[in-house]
A and B are shown apart, each in its own frame.
Chain A
Amino acid sequence: MRKLLFESVFRRPLTERAPLPDDAAVAELATALGKAARRRLGRSLSIREVDAGSCNGCELEIHALNNAYYDVERFGLRFVASPRHADVLMVTGPVTKNMREALERTYHATPNPKWVVAVGDCARNGGCFAGSYAVVGGVSEVVPVDLHIPGCPPAPTAMLQGLLALFERADAGAVTS
């Protein structure tokens, strides 16, 4: 019974429909990303996500990167639990004053070389929260930022594009850490 159920559940989505209807753009991006990542690092790239005051919209789309449509792990991109395991910090939000220190400490806990990717409009300059008594206003006010991915929130494809750009710049030596 269990077995049958399992099979009926497994079979449809994972065989007939797999790979899931990736649009061409995602597939293409993903291939490019995979190549660039490997060329640059020759291994997987670990990302530590830090919410520094986001509305949680950016987190939803970062989560989506892990779903079966995008499945970023295919390209060696991994979200890790500790900054000590990370190459990239992906930071969201307008950096609230209450989160500033936690962000700084996370940054310092990340070993070199490291890159910081600011995700979302808030992370650039505080977005619609700029000017509030409670926000710092942009990730680069607190830690050096290598790349900004705009959007509110950026769609998963935009994030893949952004990561690709990061690799290309890193490759060209434009990014130092």
Chain B
Amino acid sequence: MPSLIDLTLEGRKVGQHRPWPRVVVDASVWTFAATELAHGRWSLLGLWGEPATVHMAIMDGQAAEIAVVSLDCPDRSFPSVGKHHPPALRLERTIHDLFGLSAEGAPDTRPWLDHNRWGVRFPLGDRIDALPKATPYGLLVAEGDGLHQIPVGPVHAGIIEPGHFRFTASGETVVRLEQRLGYVHKGIDGLMSGASLERGVHLAGRTSGDSTVAYAYAFSRAAEAALDLAVPDRAVLLRALLAELERLANHLGDIGAICNDASFALMHAHCGVLRESVLRAAGAAFGHRLMRDVIVPGGVSRDIGADGVQTIRAALDNIRLRFPALVELYDNTASLQDRTVDTGVLKPPLARQYAAGGYIGRASGRSFDARRALVYPPYDRLRFDVPTLNEGDVNARVWIRVREVEQSLSLIEQILRRLPNGPTRTEVPLGGAVREGMAVVEGFRGDVLVWLRLRNGLIERCHMRDPSWFQWPLLEAVIENNIVADFPLCNKSFNCSYSGHDL
């Protein structure tokens, strides 16, 4: 059985790629990697394009080894990975939409992000004129007696992001859900090309607003990996502080919102208050409620004062005081449990196949957590558990979040206790002509991947992969055989990002 290391020996190693190796392989090694993914020994971390190259990031979960394999596609096509390993399908459709490279033998060749509204095709590759007339998107069909379709979106009934859901139902029971995304595609990959690191991290922080810290963190770490740059210790700890505050705020908001979708507005109200307390503390400590633009390559742009530490401590104390009662309320309310237990079940094998990150994976037996598995600092010196469950239902996803709230509270406490004095930022060198770096950071909804290539200090190419890419398709799977009315509950318990996915 080959290991990832063996695989990388099959190719030509690219210098200046940190911290994991990148190798250029031929089509047969590429396909071999795809079939190994299909056998489940490795996980697909990412699949992205460039004008004439495709890249695939692979992880060996056991050994926590990561490698990037690249394939040049002079004839504008590459062997499909999705043909063997379905999690790659939407990524391949995207590579085609953006770069015009086709996945040979792919079972699904419909466009994905391209709705034929950009006025151009293959905007990041060799651009050609858009099709003269938009062809209707071929939604998949489900046929049978008494089946009916329910179209929803892109504009939804609540304050949420836009996307289209097409339900096929038999009575109340969902037979098939098909998503159509791409409505919030902003062309961020394209905007990154030629940008300075400063603009790059600004854009990264606006890829998915609820994960602004995670994205700035991953982007900065990727840039620092490329430049082989160490950041001051105080900044290392402050970054983790920001990341845990973000996780805390989002989990608190979502726990309440999930309960709200089960008509239990009381939890929503109380959790909303706790979430607000975190945002206010963050605003007082870092000057921005969502902690935007604080993490930058080289360190952090804003230091925290003694008052800031105090405010955060007070917010934590308040949560410690109030949160347990809310958890108990959740646990003891039969009408709520009735909606969440056994609803929207994601089976562990499917979570594994899709390498589902965050609470979605961890509620379905997949324990991967980038903080633990890839031990980036300062998590190598902090104590925390990675909770996992196997039930995979809405209830399990709520419980994982509850446990993660507790873990984040403890982590923040540890960080505040250890926060060293000293500088918070270091000079960012221009680096050599070409430098490549990659980072995987645990955001609140899972692992955020950023890969970039710098040329003379400017971004030549940057790819960011949201955890939602591998979570959205699973939502389609878990809703089957549930009733239509449980969709909001399933959806909220996943809380996939539209903007992070559509980019």
Given contacts A69-B276, A106-B155, contact A54 B123 (CB under 8 A): no
Residues 86-126 (chain A) with a chain B CB within 8 angstroms: 93-94, 96-102, 106
Closest to A105 in B: B155
A56 and B208 contacting across the interface, CB-CB below 8 Å: yes
Closest to B256 in A: A67
Residues of chain A with a CB closer than 8 A to B451's CB:
none
B186 and A56 contacting across the interface, CB-CB below 8 Å: no
CB < 8 Å: which of B185, B276, B497 contacts A98? B185
Q: Bound complex: CA of A20 vs CA of B322, how far in Å?
A: 14
B416 interface contact, C-beta 8 A:
no
The number of inter-chain residue pairs (CB within 8 angstroms) is 155
Binds B, one of A34-42, A58-66, A164-172: A58-66
Closest to B191 in A: A132
Residues of chain A with a CB closer than 8 A to B154's CB:
99, 102
CB < 8 Å: which of A59, A69, A134, A155 contacts B160? A59
B186 and A129 contacting across the interface, CB-CB below 8 Å: yes
Residues 144-162 (chain A) with a chain B CB within 8 angstroms: 152-153, 155
B123 and A133 contacting across the interface, CB-CB below 8 Å: yes
B: contact size bracket? 35 or more
Q: Bound complex: CA of A102 vs CA of B162, how far in Å?
A: 9
Q: Bound complex: CA of A74 vs CA of B276, how far in Å?
A: 18
CB < 8 Å: which of A49, A82, A83, A96 contacts B159? A49
Chain A CB within 10 Å — which of B162, B182, B272 has the most?
A: B162
A1-34 CB mask vs B (1 if < 8 Å, else 0) is 1100110111011000000100000000000000
Chain B CB within 10 Å — which of A2, A10, A102, A134 has the most?
A: A134
B322 and A135 contacting across the interface, CB-CB below 8 Å: no
Q: Bound complex: CA of A2 vs CA of B119, how far in Å?
A: 60
A142 interface contact, C-beta 8 A:
no
Given contacts A79-B159, A97-B118, contact A9 B326 (CB under 8 A): yes
B210 interface contact, C-beta 8 A:
yes
Whole-angstrom distance between the Cβ of A45 and the nearest chain B Cβ: 16
Q: Bound complex: CA of A51 vs CA of B162, how far in Å?
A: 6
* Interface residues of A, Cβ cutoff 8 Å to B: 1-2, 5-6, 8-10, 12-13, 20, 49-64, 66-69, 79, 81-83, 93-94, 96-102, 106, 127-129, 131-135, 152-153, 155
21 A/B residue pairs, CB under 8 Å, sorted by A = A5-B329, A10-B266, A51-B161, A53-B184, A53-B186, A55-B499, A69-B273, A93-B184, A97-B118, A106-B155, A128-B202, A128-B206, A129-B191, A129-B206, A132-B188, A132-B191, A133-B187, A135-B187, A152-B206, A152-B292, A153-B290
